[in-house]
Chain A
Amino acid sequence: MDWGSVFIDGILATIGPVTAAYAISAIGLNLQFGYAGLLNFGHVAFMLVGAYGMAITVELGGPLWLGIIVGILIAAFLGFLLGLPTLRLRADYLAITTIAAAEAIRLVVRSSWAQPLTNGVFGIQGFADSFFDLNPFPPAELYGIGSLIVTGRKLWVMIVGWTIAVLLTLLIRRLINSPWGRVLKAIREDEDATTSLGKNVFAYKLQALMIGGAIGGIAGMLLAIEQQNVTPDAYLPQVTFILYVIVILGGAGTILGPIVGAVVFQFLFFTVDALMVNAQGSIGWVGDLLTPAAAGQVKLVLVGVGMMVLMIFRPQGILGSREEALIDER
């Protein structure tokens, strides 16, 4: 069994652009869920509308930069639309509305009715050429240290992706450490009390939902750019729940939690994946026991067990404070 290549595969996936996109999306969800206490169970929809907003703009002949702006604005607007009727009500209403809206949007996008614009189930391809034109690295060239090797194309997306993740983290840090962020945390603790202190709770929640949504849109665009492809079925509800796992794993309501959560989750996921593939090839009885399809299931089971162990020993997440987690409500 080749342990070296197992870890190399795991690490490569961990530092890759997909992890950066998950980290970015989780930053948006963390603002909503971790800081404002909003139960947004349709975060994937923000990624979808961001990516499609960009792809369709380019498809209609607009430049990519305009597409990116459109994607961000549409994602923020989706937050506005979902928040307007629900944020005055109890928290459950936002949860139900977002989870339903996310699926409704995906189904509409993939329907034949929307095909003229979205190209239905086939999606839209090849809209990010101008992004790769900016790539200073020859795309086919290999870069890396030791066995960690990536192509110039991937390196470019990685650098852009992680730079955005760092910039957004700095933005969130500035917001959260301001009085604005303090009001947000107060709302998470107790809406009525915060209202009684003269704060417009609804406006703050709407702002958090829109900003977090826009960040989700950025993540969706990064994923789409990396693959030069948007298809509706990449935005299944489980993406939202993976993002929740990432946020809670890293520590909800912590600045670096989303990045740490994304890195740890992806590392666990892809290392286990590489491990299964490797074991199938090199250990006889494993190969006999597990078909490739079954290995996919076992991988999820192992990742699930890993998550459970982490949650048992660190319910507050990797970066969360134990003291804070132990405080009872009221």
Chain B
Amino acid sequence: MNGDHPMLGIAPEPGVHKPDPVLVANDLQRSFGGLRAVDVKHLEIQRHTVTSLIGPNGAGKTTLFNLLTGFDTPDFGEWHLNGGPLVGIAAFQVARRGMVRTFQLTRSLARLTVMNNMLVAAKDNKGEGLWGALTGGWHATEQANEARANELLERFGLEHMADEFAGSLSGGQRKLLEMARALMMNPEVVMLDEPMAGVNPALTQSLLTHITGLRDSGKTVIFVEHDMDVVQEISDWVVVMAEGRVIAEGRPEEIAQNRTVIDAYLGEHHGEAAS
């Protein structure tokens, strides 16, 4: 990033408008029985930034992720990516439109090799259709994809594992693979659900570098995180959720001093009954 903070001058209040939002959500609601898991009035995500989504356990961060990516259906509300509405769009279509997510528990395709994990993510391979698979003619695409996969694997330090089963990777390597695999789709928005969970501190640093690297290569990153230090270090913008609502937004240093946020985190120990 060049000099000025990209989010300078934006008021630190929930639902604030951003100059160039890539993702906008309005009145998004989702209840499980009597529990309102997500109730977001208005949320905009600024393009080419790292936005982190924080909040105590049960705040609805993952549910919001599921809603935005089509893995769950809201009871109410609408949201759009680059102005295109995503209501009623299937999860796989959302991914094809350029918003790719990862999961809290790593989802490596265990009995596929690391390389095949990468290749399966590539878009527009005509060999993935039944007719294309039978008639052939997909080998050129495959080679181009392999070259790109190799570049990405190298960037994430996994090139020596390319021919191993993904199931034989360590936990941290799987996180890296999941991130590299998401990039195979050339997404515009990358949504990482707790990328640091269960990763040893040494690898955390390398993951952080990769995340800021994503932003610097022109992607928008949204990630869920618990660790405030991590959030402070790499976020351009922080969105705080509690009990399904966005209770605060702002630059990391603003959030650190926000009274509501501190209360929400401390309140976690008292008001946990609902979750």
A contact set with B: CB distance below 8 Å: 174-175, 178-183, 185-186, 188-190, 192-201, 207, 323-324, 327-330
Contact = CB atoms under 8 A, between A and B. Distances in A.
Contacts of A178: 127-128, 132-134, 136, 138
Interface of B: 69, 71, 90-93, 95-96, 100-103, 105-112, 116-117, 119-121, 123, 125, 127-130, 132-134, 136, 138, 142, 165, 167-168, 181-182, 184-185
Contacts of B102: 196
Contacts of A182: 112, 116, 119-120, 128
Contacts of B106: 330
Contacts of B90: 200
A138 B269 CA distance: 87
A196 B120 contact: no
A158 B110 CA distance: 40
A215 B181 CA distance: 34
Contacts of A189: 109-112
Given A178-B132, A182-B120, 12 more contacts: A178-B128, A178-B136, A179-B119, A179-B127, A182-B128, A186-B112, A188-B111, A189-B111, A193-B109, A196-B103, A199-B92, A328-B167
A5 B116 CA distance: 50
Give the interface centre of A180, A181, A201, A323 by most chain B CB atoms within 10 Å: A180
Given A182-B120, A327-B165, A194 B109 contact: yes
Given A180-B128, A181-B133, A183-B120, A201 B92 contact: yes
B128 A198 contact: no
B130 A180 contact: yes
Contacts of B132: 178-180
B111 A197 contact: no
A134 B142 CA distance: 44
Contacts of B133: 174-175, 178-181
A252 B2 CA distance: 55
A206 to B, nearest CB: 11
B167 A174 contact: no
B255 to A, nearest CB: 29
B110 A330 contact: yes
13 contacts: A178-B128, A179-B133, A181-B133, A186-B109, A186-B112, A193-B107, A193-B109, A195-B91, A196-B101, A197-B181, A198-B92, A199-B120, A330-B108
A329 B130 contact: no
Nearest to B91: A195
Nearest to A187: B109
Contacts of B95: 195-198
Contacts of B119: 179, 182
A193 B177 CA distance: 12
A194 B127 contact: no
A196 B127 contact: no
A48 B116 CA distance: 37
A222 B108 CA distance: 41
